[in-house]
Structure 1
Amino acid sequence: MRADHGLPVSARAMDVPQLVVSELVTNAPKYAPGPALLELRVAGARLEETVWDSGPSLPLARAAESGRVGQQGLEIVMAVAQSFAAHREPVGKRITAGIALSDDPDADPAIRRNRTAR
């Protein structure tokens, strides 16, 4: 992204998108009967990672449980993303996580606005 778009990308932002994609894409076949699509898009000073799958149920973050093993992917995504949205589509659902590309997410007004709206 640095070379293609001339955007400053922090060391943190080099690792976080991979984690988010891994969590979202891993969950798609667990909860949806059909195909899944991944879209990555640079929007201002952030990377938007969107996963569409054919399952109609929206994901729900679960309350912390001391004995729970696994099933914490959504909580991980929501903890590291500056924005998160899940929407039903005519077929399936679309989940989008926004990741700040710099270590100062407040530099992008769209990220600051989404973070306060959570």
Structure 2
Amino acid sequence: MRADYALGGDGGRIADARRHAAAFLDQAHAGHRLPVSARARDLTQLVVSELVTNALRHAPGPARMELRVNARAVEVVVWDSDPTVPTARTADAGRIGQHGLEIVKAVTEDLFIEQEPVGKHIMARIALADTPGGADADRGPA
């Protein structure tokens, strides 16, 4: 299952992207009986928020978000037109802001960043179940 969304340049699009992600996971759970834990749903919305915010804030042109899900994970893929590959900064509790990529790296199973001829894409993978077969695995949307 997958879905693709064009992202506009205003701040409201960040909230729209989070809503799309939540609805996508609701559909994966209800329509395809995939085990979507409340934690996976929350982390997916957090990752979407961070990646989409960065794309809209730092890239000069259009951006897109793709959501993909399989039996064990959801993938959030954000493409933007800026070819600059972001890097996570070293942890600094005194720094205000610029912690987005650190947060994404901390809460995802995998994070891939790849330059393209025009821009780059960032793919973050989040496990659907808290633990394989665990109590939270089939709780569904919160």
Give the TM-score band, short-chain normalised. Answer: 0.7 to 0.9
Query: Which residue identity does 1:38 align to in structure 2?
Result: M
Query: Which residue identity does 1:103 align to in structure 2?
Result: D
Overall identity of the aligned pairs, in %: 59
Q: Structure 2: how far apart are the matches of 1:59 and 1:5?
A: 35
Q: Structure 2: how far apart are the matches of 1:82 and 1:60?
A: 17
> How far apart are residue 66 of structure 1 and its match?
3.1
Query: TM-score w.r.t. structure 2 length?
Result: 0.71
> How far apart are residue 44 of structure 1 and its match?
3.2
SS of equivalent to 1:18: helix
Residue of structure 1 in register with 2:14 after alignment: none
Alignment of 1:1-118 (within 5 A): 1-104=28-131
Query: Which residue identity does 1:14 align to in structure 2?
Result: R
Q: Note the alpha carbon deviations across 1:97-116, whole angstroms, 9 max, x for none.
A: 0010001269xxxxxxxxxx
> How far apart are residue 3 of structure 1 and its match?
1.1
Q: Structure 2: how far apart are the matches of 1:41 and 1:105?
A: 19
The number of aligned residues is 107
> How far apart are residue 80 of structure 1 and its match?
0.5
Q: Which runs of 5+ in 2 are unaligned?
A: 1-27, 134-142
Q: Which runs of 5+ in 1 are unaligned?
A: 107-118
Q: Structure 2: how far apart are the matches of 1:88 and 1:65?
A: 27
Query: Which residue identity does 1:66 align to in structure 2?
Result: A
Instruction: Compute the RMSD of aligned alpha carbons.
Output: 1.7
